[in-house]
A = this chain, B = another copy of it.
């Protein structure tokens, strides 16, 4: 009652293992229709399922793609602190499955041990989401497998890149506030890393202000963490310290949602007293009250695109490195009020 192997199939069909293997992989070998049928029948009868692990031993391809996401808090149990990750991973998994790959998600602390995972499991490709220390990318360069970086701002042409024009995103969000006649606009973000997503958005924020003749005030910039709590605390601080602003541009929906909560806790309401604009457009953002006005990224598109690139790169070693810029747009809901 044991599980059938390729050998069993071969014996039952009265052919050699090689023939079965060729048929299994639709290899480019001449096979009689008759033999093919015999073998297919045997597979059917034995309910044969190939052992991918064994196959990968010689074929050197595991049909698995690694997905790396940053571990903000080392040792944290929460892999998906930010729904952005779960949404993008949903999409990656879906499209990977369509082309016969499985994904292996790494909640690994970012260190050599991730490279280890690639070796251990013989991963065929990697998708890394987010910003990492340069050293991390150096390690990846050594292993020569197709790698897609999403939102990384790594300039190395050794990798495929998918990102958005973050500067423009920051600009658009700020501009939107200004169009609603806000002039005292804060900027709430995670910590800015050199050449990171957040820094770019911050530049866009500054450009929009400048363009409209609004002086930049560093007291209105809040560099915290990318989580609900940071949003709450900042909003509370704004109210408590009576910081003079009416609009808040944020770099993540979780920050915006937190800020709304913080204002509310201090007895202030959104958008009546404070306007808030998010970034990402998480699924939840349309369902909170008030609905969050935000910069909608095509999160699912990013996942799909990553797999599309890998599909080509996996079959053609010389597939040129891609640098994809995704589209985004403002979605208007209720968290920003038009002044006057």
A binding-site residues for B, Cβ under 8 Å: 3, 49-54, 56-57, 62, 76-80, 83, 86-87, 89-91, 93-95, 97, 102-105, 107-108, 116-117, 119-122, 228, 232, 254, 257-258, 260-261, 264, 283-284, 286-291, 300
Contact = CB atoms under 8 A, between A and B. Distances in A.
A125 B264 CA distance: 46
Contacts of A62: 53
Sorted nearest first, the 9 A-B pairs with minimum C-beta distance are A86-B86, A49-B119, A79-B90, A53-B53, A77-B94, A228-B287, A264-B289, A80-B86, A52-B120
A104 B107 contact: no
A241 to B, nearest CB: 21
A46 to B, nearest CB: 12
Nearest to A63: B120
> How many copies of the shown chain assemble into the complex?
2
Given A51-B120, A51-B122, A102-B121, 13 more contacts: A51-B119, A53-B56, A53-B62, A77-B95, A79-B93, A79-B94, A83-B284, A102-B117, A228-B286, A258-B287, A261-B287, A288-B289, A289-B289
A233 to B, nearest CB: 12
Contacts of A49: 116, 119-120
B287 A232 contact: yes
A73 to B, nearest CB: 12
Contact of A77 (B52, B79, B90): B90
A164 B107 CA distance: 27
A57 B56 CA distance: 11
